[in-house]
Amino acid sequence: MSTERILIIGSNGQIGLELAEALRKNYGDEHVVCVDIRKLENQILPFEVLDVLDQNALLALVKKYEITQVYLLAALLSATAEKNPKFAWDLNMNGLFNVLDLAKEGHIKKVYWPSSIAVFGPSTPGQNTPQYTVMEPNTIYGISKLAGERFCEYYHQKYGVDVRSIRYPGLIGWKSAPGGGTTDYAVHIYHEALKNKTYECFLNAQTALPMMYMPDAIRATIQLMEAPAEQVKIRSSYNLAGISFNPEEIAASIRKHIPDFSITYKPDFRQSIADSWPASIDDTLAQQDWGWKIKYDLDAMTQEMLDNLKRVGNMAV
């Protein structure tokens, strides 16, 4: 039986729901404590309502459940953050400080914090973007993620905090709805394809972005967290390539199953966010350091997305 007790902050979001399921399988239900600012109707337990900005409540919870590891997933994503920059900065940064300080003070042993391809900006080389390169993000989300990465590395070097992180590409899954991201079109498109056989995309046809099917993202996250500490050589955040495609290409993949599916384009403010991000990523260091290997390509993901959404009744997103 595992001695780890894991806290997932932001457990009811797109990543949290799937991560909780996977961690409960690996560690046992009672070893995974879920917290979020909202309780779901069919909430899995153990669960507590928590605002990550409430440092005292967070510490009390960590003590109550004798938590050893924290996955911090509460954040505002790119599109929502642009609408509320001050709150985005407050939540994304002070949430992270609250958790890093728990580790610095010895209350927990290990921290997972997600970064994003949003740390890159318009001056970054956009094809096969290397781990170390020019980073001048021009979105508030990207700025908060880049600052967060620097603080993760700082807390590791200065205080020995065991913090681990991945720069997620856009994440695509059928179990839960995404919220407030620029890459979310690649989830909505599957729902609309099944419901209406047509989708109006908020990015233009040629906007290629790195994406990843959720089972790969969850596997990468747990693999990194379970890797021996000496294999985790990057303490800011690891590039993870995923699969790169544009809206036209995902539409073509869907058409292999729904031949009369059509897509139209009406770019909005999210187009300029997407334009500032790389089209493809180099993740050689994740492969070398902790053995990362992707499983799903675009067509394999499309097949599973459509099959699963059909099976569960294509819930609205």
| Active site members | 141
Task: Label the pairing between strands 238-239 and 198-201.
Answer: unpaired
Site for ligand AKB in 155-194 (CB under 6 A): 168, 170-171, 181-183
The burial class, CB within 10 Å (0-12 / 13-18 / 19+), for 143 is buried
Q: Which is nearer to ligand AKB, 171 or 298 (CB)?
A: 171
| Closest distance of CB 115 from ligand AKB, Å | 8
Minimum separation from the CB atom of position 162 to ligand AKB (A): 23
Task: Give CA separation, 75 vs 53, 97, 234, in Å.
Answer: 11, 13, 22
Residues 20-39 that bind ligand AKB (CB under 6 A): none
With binding defined as CB under 6 A, does residue 118 bind ligand AKB? Answer: yes
230 exposed, middle or buried (CB, 10 Å; 0-12, 13-18, 19+)? exposed
Q: Out of 19, 20, 32, 77, which residue is the one contacting ligand AKB (CB under 6 A)?
A: 77
CB nearer to ligand AKB: give 8 or 77.
Answer: 77
Smallest distance, Å, CB 183 to ligand AKB? 4
Do the Cβ atoms of 39 and 49 come closer than 8 Å?
A: yes
103 in Cβ contact with 111 (< 8 Å): yes
Confirm or reject binding of residue 116 to ligand AKB (CB under 6 A): yes
Answer yes or no: are the C-beta atoms of 96 and 103 closer than 8 Å.
no
Report in angstroms how near the CB of residue 187 gets to ligand AKB at its nearest. Answer: 10
For ligand AKB, which residue of 103, 117, 241, 243 counts as binding (CB under 6 A)?
Answer: 117
Structure tokens at 288: 């070398």
Residues near ligand AKB (CB under 6 A) = 77-78, 116-118, 141, 168, 170-171, 181-183
